[in-house]
Amino acid sequence: MKYRTIKDTGIEVSAVALGTWAVGGGTWWGDSDESESVKAIQAALDEGITLIDTAPAYGFGKSEEIVGKAVEGRRDKAIISTKCGLWWKDSRGSFKFEQGGRRVHICLRPETIREEVEMSLTRLKTDYIDIYHTHWQADEADPVPIADTMELLLKLKEEGKIRGIAASNITSSQIDEYEKTGSLDAIQPRYSMLDRKIEGDLLPHCRAKRISTLVYSPLEQGLLAGKFRKDTPIPEGQYRNFLPWFQPGNRERVIDMLEGWEGLLEKYSCTFSQLVIAWTVAQEGITTALCGGRKVSHVIENAAAGSLNLDPDDILRMRKDAEQVGSLDYQGVKGAKDLE
């Protein structure tokens, strides 16, 4: 497994991380087997994955609770990343989405973050969080100044409740606002070989400021892992139905691309997911790839990508193939930007 350091924090993370959104279950992901999820998280630690990423909004606390159970007694082996800013306790903030009868708001007010961090610490059964993200950024409906949010995060760091400050789903200009008040250690944007928008501005901006980049959805919810055929049905209401690459016609183009890489699987004795993850963490400026997993076998498979080294010519070939497949806009797909 390759390891990388988060900016100046001294926090060392694995190049392949475990994302636990689906572990929280819910209508978007279906029922989650808690026992199997705990075993999967523990298997990740056994395989050299150190970074475990979660959030309160993943199953309304369920994901954090499962992570807490899984790392109990092994806290020193895990780098826990969680988030704040999606709030459902009352109507404070700007409305984001509704799920399971709960109305969820973006809220980065210092007083709600203070409440959130305490609830997360309780669920995670720990007294500190390694990397603490603002999940979504405040908007004009509840325009909390970034300086106010950052000042509270700095206080939490001084108190020892968090070690590193990070922001998910953020723009370059918002990064600059954070850095007027304090140091931003990492960001968490969407990125895959099929969705490379951050390469245009955000990624170079972070490289210039030495901000680490922890990317989510590198496998496009399993599509780039070769887990789906052209005719694989997706259950109604499942999150994948909202994603543009799973729409009719688009999925077929991706699968055709993957079929063209059968020779690479033989060359590296790897699976599609390992090949794609290895490509992702080989890209300049990418610190770690957050890969979801609720089953032990999937986690072990993904972890092996952390020690896979691809030839530069093959990395370039895969990029060119992905560029030929094209790109799609997530902004216009209903539900696709609700929670990530």
- Distance, in Å, from the CA atom of 36 to the CA atom of 99, rounded to the nearest integer, reads 24
CA distance readout (Å), 270 to 237, 263, 274, 280: 32, 10, 6, 15
Active site residue 58: yes
Which of 3, 58, 216, 239 does the annotation list as catalytic?
58
* Torsion 164-214-29-272 (CA) sign: negative
Which residue bears the tokens 């007010």?
109
Neighbour-count burial of 233, counting CB atoms closer than 10 A to its CB (0-12 exposed, 13-18 middle, 19+ buried):
exposed
17, β-bridge pairs: 290
3-state secondary structure of 88: coil
Q: For residue 156, give both structure tokens.
A: 């939490």
- Distance, in Å, from the CA atom of 230 to the CA atom of 75, rounded to the nearest integer, reads 41
The full length of the chain comes to 340
Catalytic residues: 58
